[in-house]
Amino acid sequence: MKVIIAEKPSVAQGIASVVGARQRKDGYLTGDGYAVTWAFGHLVGLAMPESYGFSGFRREHLPILPQEFRLVPRQVREGKVYKDDPGVVRQLEVLRELFDRCESIIVATDAGREGELIFRYVYNYLGCTKPFVRLWISSLTDKAIREGLRNLREGSLYDNLYLSAKARSEADWLVGINSSQALSLAAGQGVFSLGRVQTPTLAMICSRYRENKQFVPRKYFQIKVSAAKDGIAFSALSRNRFDDLETATAGLREVEDGGMLAVSSVERREAVQEPPLLYDLTALQKEANGKLDFSADKTLTLAQSLYEKKVLSYPRTGSRYISEDVFEEIPSRITLLQQYPRFAAIASALRDTPLNRRPVDDAKVTDHHALLVTENLPEGLSQDERAIYEMVAARLLEAFSPHCVKEMTEVALSAGGEIFTLKGAVVKSAGWRAVRGEPEEEVEETTLPELQTDETLPLLASETVEKQTKPKPLHTESSLLSAMEHCGREIGDGQLRTAIREAGIGTPATRAAVIETLFARNYIRRDKKNLVPTEKGLAVYDTVKDKKIADVEMTAAWEDTLAKIETGEADAPSFRRDIEVYTAQIVAELLAATLDVAPSGEQCTCPKCKKSRILFFDKVAKCADVDCGFTLFRNKGGKVLTDKQIVGLVTTGRTPLVKGFRNREGRSFDAALVLNPDFTVGYSFPDRKPQGEKSGRKR
């Protein structure tokens, strides 16, 4: 028997139908010599610090650098502790039994870095030694699965891919765990999350926000003139920018005194616009954010769903090119789109046109080619799924269409010693722009009359126009994804910039999750399309902006090294040693930092030990000294206590009257909270003696 392991049950079902495994068992499908089973994403991960004896947040523990990382089943929180997820444990036992019984394993997790890690962690955790081969495919159509099964690859070919994934996982653990604990200890209250990619990304958002808000606009003035010829009216702006209205007005008078505009020069040229490249995941996310207002995470989720529905190729790709063998399939994909009403006409026209070969380059195809529609027409898609499918289909048609050809005209006019400029554009052959019928966004298409050098035209109107300089706009998800993808280009050190080439931070597969983490940590929020830091996010940024943890250059260099580990150009143990040195450095920097996030600016000393500070968490407030043990739960009698109420309780021993508590019978009552001598919390009712936790009124 051969075992095939997929990343998700839905993918396993598609593979099972191809190999004839139709008999359903608990945790797998079987038949025709195969058992097809699955993971639920990451079944196994790296153990938390408690597994190595480092419980609580203590300065003396940092940096935490395990000699060997331990693998554990995925954890779920149960009360105050984390336990093995029962569903994961059950599936791991299914996998253990199947691995023990089988002759060999076919790895069919997603064909990428994380997919490889999912399998290898399970394989290593179970102590399996059975041989395995790799199913490496770029779509889940029946045809692709059959071809992949006929061309299975040796598992050892992906050892470097696994080493890169493992190095990424361990580096994120080392940096994330240590930096988060160090900053939380420095703050003295609350839990703060930092990360290898997360923190530089936060820095990008905050620095742009600060730059935007601190920008002081500068007024300037231009002169606008209007003229017409052959019934076509047009306007032009002065090339000169005036710093004040008085000077601009003086220039305007000189222009008006002449009453005529002289055509100084007319330049016409033909502009050929190449069609755009195919989408990789990041390009798709950027455009979906700009045009559909989809978050990066939503776009990835929709693309993954379309992949599992067998109508889209593997979405987590970083390439915008296809190979020669895939190019051979493009005519049939174009023919397929003749059956899709929105694209029927353009696909029919493209069938008889030589295909543009710009996106075809074997050398630029990484693990997976660019996003393509498959040979299957979609059915039953949601509105959002259809929107993403049509974006990919439209881009396929655009990428292989002819050039767009325009006639560009640049005109210079003169009057009163001032030069005025204007541009016009006329489409001679729409080419790829005909696919969506959208105008060019970068240049306004303007039809100008036939103007000749040295001719003069009457001045029809003129005025001064007040304008002002503008700051860089706040980041949107689209612009942030670009910044994450191309930050290597903006590195000041020329040698380093050359070394890391086009390296960004994160990968196409992980950038959406990084952005979502910043939302989850309450570091950023959305303001329409803009990404705006919260007070908490700015407080963290102000603390770490000059530290190594926020260094975009360092993070981009690490990402480049991970890519080199994948290709065998770099050594994983050396990377691990470098990360450990880096971790020790950022821990030292953060422990010496100051982060003031106390509610209302107050610092609360623990009422029990009278030495350490009170830490504020989402559900509890407790002493920073884990040996002290003072803990105060926020939820009291159905009310969630505010920071201000907790501060009053631990500093003065009581709160003001709080309205709306509820007893066990659901009845509402009002009371103040008091801190009892044994450091439990009780109620104090108006005109009554305080009632403690042992009075039977504990809630």
Rounded Cα–Cα distance for residues 327 and 394 (Å): 17
Average pLDDT of the chain? 89
- The architecture that CATH gives domain 168-213+474-591 is Orthogonal Bundle (1.10)
The whole-number pLDDT of residue 202 equals 95
Question: How confident is the model at residue 552, as a pLDDT?
Answer: 84
Q: How confident is the model at residue 41 (pLDDT cuts 50, 70, 90)?
A: confident
Q: What is the pLDDT of residue 663?
A: 86
Helices 511-520 and 296-308, interaxial angle, to 10°? 130
Q: Does residue 28 have an active-site annotation? A: no
List, edge to edge, every strand of the sheet that includes 658-662. 658-662, 668-675, 681-684
pLDDT digits (tens, 9 = 90+) for 164-202: 999 999 999 999 999 999 998 887 666 788 998 999 999
Domain layout of the chain by residue ranges: 2-58+68-151, 168-213+474-591, 219-274+404-468, 281-399, 599-695
| Percent share of the chain, pLDDT over 90 | 65
Q: Which CATH architecture has domain 2-58+68-151?
A: 3-Layer(aba) Sandwich (3.40)
CATH of domain 219-274+404-468: 2.70.20.10
pLDDT of residue 695: 39
The predicted model gives 270-282 an average pLDDT of 94
Q: pLDDT at position 180, please? A: 92
Summarize pLDDT for 118-135 with one digit per residue, the tens: 999 999 999 999 999 999
CB of 397 closer than 8 Å to CB of 430: no
Residue with tokens 């290593």: 124
2-6 and 104-108 strand pairing: parallel
pLDDT for position 498: 54
As a whole number of Å, the CA-based R_g of the chain is 32
Q: What is the pLDDT, as a whole number, of residue 556?
A: 84
CATH level 3 topology of 281-399: Topoisomerase I; domain 4 (1.10.290)
Q: Which residues contact 25 (CB under 8 A, 6 or more apart)?
A: 35
Which pLDDT tens digit goes with each residue over 440-459?
A: 544 456 788 999 999 999 99
DSSP 394-447: HHHHHHTSPPEEEEEEEEEEEETTEEEEEEEEEEEE-GGGGTTTPPPSSS----
Quick one: 116 exposed, middle or buried, by C-beta within 10 A (0-12, 13-18, 19+)? buried
pLDDT at residue 601, as a whole number: 45
> Quick one: average pLDDT of 277-295?
95
SS3 (DSSP) at 472: coil
Tell me what the mean pLDDT of segment 683-696 comes to: 59
Catalytic: which of 314, 389, 541, 582?
Answer: 314
What CA–CA distance (Å, rounded) separates 195 from 555? 10
Q: Name which of 45-54, 443-452, 629-638 the model is least confident about.
A: 443-452
- Over residues 477-504, mean pLDDT: 70
Per-residue model confidence (pLDDT) at position 698: 40
- How many beta carbons lie within 10 A of that of residue 103, not counting itself? 10
pLDDT digits (tens, 9 = 90+) for 515-544: 999 998 889 999 989 999 988 888 899 889
Question: What's the whole-model pTM score?
Answer: 0.78
**Average pLDDT of span 683-690:** 70
The model's confidence at residue 642, banded by pLDDT at 50, 70 and 90, is confident
pLDDT tens track for 566-613? 999 999 999 999 999 999 999 999 998 876 554 444 567 889 988 877
